[in-house]
Structure 1
Amino acid sequence: MSETLVAPVETKRRTASPMARLVSDWVPPAVTFVLVAVLWQLVALNNPYVLPTLDAIGNSLASDPRMYWANMLVTCQEIAIGAGAGILCGFLLAVLMSELPIVEKAVMPLIVVIMVTPVVAIAPALVVAFGFGMLPKYIVTGLVVFFPMLVNSLAGLRDVDQKALDVFKTLHASRWEVFRDLRFPGCMPFVFAGLRIAMPLAVVGAAVAEFVAAGQQAGLGSLVTISAAQANLPVTWASIALLCLLGVVLVSLLALLRKRVLWWSDADVIGR
């Protein structure tokens, strides 16, 4: 019954004009954002010591764009290096665990212990161990994205079509050939699911690293801390808005990349 109801809806959506699809996709979120902006402005006008008005935030961004740009570049550097290393290490360890189960039994308990330890508690110890440079911030950012990437990649590498695996065994395929031609392509939907979780967490991790890791006072997270201590609400919320924008850009780029890489997966879903 449900399939007979869903199919006409999907067919109608596919046959709708591009303008109709554009309206149906963008109008609801646009209306939501407009309502939130109006509500924000009303609260800010009546509570100037709680929230700055939207025009005050815009004026802060326009008055000193170099300051915001320089701090955003620092945060982007932390995301690129820290989150990039965390994502890569998570995937490589997942490959090792899928091929050698003994590694998972030996390492996974330690990883769980590290992941359940609050990163705020780890950051000061990292500063003591690695100094006041950027390395502790890279490590904090990498730790935040490591676990979701590891778990999703491991699930994907083990989610192998048993019939296809039997065919590979019949052809006497090597372990490398099975990984290259079966496990790796098959795990890509899970990898992108992990990346979809990791990308927003990377922004959060970079900001938290700048909050709690002493040292260089640079980055949007540091700008939020400093401006909040000075009760400079426009700068605080402008920095928060840029962090949100950075997360949206990363997620959007990931969605475009997924569409290019997993075109076959999307086509399979649409064709059902």
Structure 2
Amino acid sequence: MAAASFRHPAARPRRALPAILSVAALLAVWEIYVRMSGVSALVLPAPSRVIGQIAENRDLLWVNTLPTLKATLIGFACSLSVAFALSVAIDFLPRLKRALFPVFVISQTLPLVAIAPLVVLWFGFGLTPKILLVALVTFFPMLVALVDGYQSADRDISALLASMGASRAGIFRRARLPSAMPYFFAGLRISITYAVVAAIFAEYVGARAGLGIVILNAKNSFRPDLMLAAVVISSALTLALFAATALVQRLVLGWRQAGAGQ
């Protein structure tokens, strides 16, 4: 087992190599096509031009990345808190699941393009609507993952703890909560990929600053190169947050369990 865990970190770059090569090949084909076809940069800018825009507008992009990151992190923290509290309540009171889950499912069917303008209209152009939209988009996957994780607990272990006099809270803490952790981190990784998109969309609908504003202004100015530069930054931000959740998972569950869950 020690040897396997020692080889594990060295194996990660090899596992990432196919994805890196695929992205590099896609960018190369894109660059070659733009250069050879003579397509206008107003229609399809080359990757090299997009990278140039990132370098040229780095201050603008950085200043507008911070509000997006702030809304993402605060909204995601609120979402995580609400999802955990509701999951615990549902585990202790199963009837709540039958009462609340249909409402939660309905909330996920609401088109973001329709609900976002209303949220901005109700709460203004500040941070609040962005936080609410991020929380709305991200809390349900974590809630479902936690509830399913609690139910995956070994019944024999729960029965043993009960026979030893453990309370319902004690069984939850010692058996049901630990069994839910792999499920929770799976839901966490799914949710974090939606969080940045929701924050940017909320900014796109109505905000004073953020990557969504950069994208909107670039669209109105017919600057697809700057639009794609902002998209690249948002993608990098999403990947960074995803990697952070994977790191937390490894710290909490250990290298072996984290690797098995991916």
Regarding TM over 0.5, the answer is: yes
Task: Label 1:17 to 1:160 Cα distance change in 2 as closer, same or farther (>3 A).
Answer: closer
Task: Label 1:109 to 1:50 Cα distance change in 2 as closer, same or farther (>3 A).
Answer: same
Instruction: Specify the alignment match of 1:234 in structure 2.
Output: 225
Q: Any residues of structure 2 matched to 1:29-178 within 5 Å, and which?
A: 29-45=19-35, 46=37, 47=39, 48-178=41-171
- The question of whether the paired residues in 2 share the 8 Å contact of 1:141 and 1:205 is answered with yes
- The question of whether the paired residues in 2 share the 8 Å contact of 1:141 and 1:202 is answered with yes
Runs (4 or more) in structure 1 with deviation over 4 Å come to 13-20, 267-270
Counterpart CA distance in 2 for 1:83 and 1:120 is 20
- Paired amino acid for 1:114: S
Task: Label 1:268 to 1:162 Cα distance change in 2 as closer, same or farther (>3 A).
Answer: farther
| Residue 205 of structure 1: how far off its partner (Å) | 1.0
Counterpart CA distance in 2 for 1:246 and 1:268 is 23
Counterpart CA distance in 1 for 2:8 and 2:85 is 41
- Paired amino acid for 1:90: A
Q: 1:243 and 2:234 equivalent?
A: yes
Q: 1:205 and 2:198 equivalent?
A: yes
- Paired amino acid for 1:101: P
CA-based RMSD: 2.5
- The question of whether the paired residues in 2 share the 8 Å contact of 1:144 and 1:205 is answered with yes
Q: Deviations over 1:42-100 (max 9, x none)?
A: 23333233221222222212223211111110110011111211122112111111110
Counterpart CA distance in 1 for 2:49 and 2:17 is 27
| Residue 200 of structure 1: how far off its partner (Å) | 0.5
Task: Label 1:90 to 1:18 Cα distance change in 2 as closer, same or farther (>3 A).
Answer: closer
- Number of equivalent positions: 257
The partner residue of 1:24 within 14, 36, 39 is: 14
SS at match of 1:218: coil
Counterpart CA distance in 1 for 2:56 and 2:260 is 48
Task: Label 1:128 to 1:20 Cα distance change in 2 as closer, same or farther (>3 A).
Answer: closer
Q: Deviations over 1:209-233 (max 9, x none)?
A: 1122x2x331112211210121112
Query: Which moves more between the two structures, 53-62 or 164-173?
Result: 53-62
- Paired amino acid for 1:251: F
Instruction: Specify the alignment match of 2:173 in structure 1.
Output: 180
| Residue 129 of structure 1: how far off its partner (Å) | 2.0
Task: Label 1:248 to 1:15 Cα distance change in 2 as closer, same or farther (>3 A).
Answer: closer
Q: TM-score, normalised by structure 1?
A: 0.86
SS at match of 2:125: coil
Unaligned residue ranges in structure 2 (runs of 5+): none
Could you tell me the percent identity over the aligned residues? 31
Counterpart CA distance in 1 for 2:194 and 2:62 is 21
Counterpart CA distance in 1 for 2:7 and 2:108 is 47
Unaligned residue ranges in structure 1 (runs of 5+): 1-10
Instruction: Specify the alignment match of 1:218 in structure 2.
Output: 209
